[in-house]
Amino acid sequence: MPTTTAVRVRHRALPTAVMAGTLIWALSACGEESTAAKGPTTTKGSAPAWEEPSAYSYTLKSSEGERSLIGTFKVTVRDGKIVEAAGVDESGRRVVEQELSEVPTIAGLLKKAETAREEGADVVEVEYAKDGRPTSISIDREEDAIDDEEAYALSDYEALG
């Protein structure tokens, strides 16, 4: 099992009681303004450096949420483009038959996570193998919303010559 480093980003409103207590504290601080910045924060480590090789294969298991990219896929990438994708399960086969362009490269998944962070998603979590490539990515744009989650497990990675 690869060694992983977790990067978890959370951005959400505080519970009402804590927020009220913070407001009372701030108001009682003789007019001083709070210096707390609003926005996502990293709670565990940072992303190790990894550069997408020109050719590789991996298995992607995409789950969670109401979206078209659900299923398990065996993916081959060359020069930053999907050259082959096969659905491993029924859902994956359906996606490959109907919407092959939905299947992402690893760089595409990392870009999706970065975009979610930039857009203020409540949760963006990426776990990395020791060599720096991602092994799982979880995105929840609005923690209180239903079916907006995205979860990706990346396995069987192999750089190709």
pLDDT at 40: 37
**Is a pLDDT exceeding 50 seen at residue 81?**
yes
* Residue pointed to by tokens 């969670």: 64
Q: How far apart are CA 62 and CA 43, in angstroms?
A: 24
The whole-model pTM stands at: 0.70
Average pLDDT of the residues in 82-88: 95
**Is a pLDDT exceeding 70 seen at residue 1?**
no
What's the whole-number average pLDDT of the chain? 78
pLDDT at 109: 95
What is the band of 85 on the pLDDT scale with cuts at 50, 70, 90?
A: very high
Is residue 76 classed exposed, middle or buried when 0-12, 13-18 and 19+ CB atoms within 10 A define those classes?
middle
What is the band of 29 on the pLDDT scale with cuts at 50, 70, 90?
A: very low
Q: Which of 2-6, 40-44, 108-112, 127-131 is the least confident region?
A: 40-44
Q: What are 82's two structure tokens?
A: 């999907």
What is the band of 146 on the pLDDT scale with cuts at 50, 70, 90?
A: confident
Q: How far apart are CA 129 and CA 62, in angstroms?
A: 18
Q: Kindly provide the residue ranges of all beta strands, DSSP E only, lying in the chain, ordered along the sequence.
A: 5-10, 41-42, 55-63, 71-78, 81-87, 123-128, 134-140, 149-159
Q: Which of 31-35, 62-66, 128-132, 141-145 is the least confident region?
A: 31-35
Cα 136 to Cα 2, 38, 97, 142, 147: the distances in Å are: 12, 26, 25, 19, 19
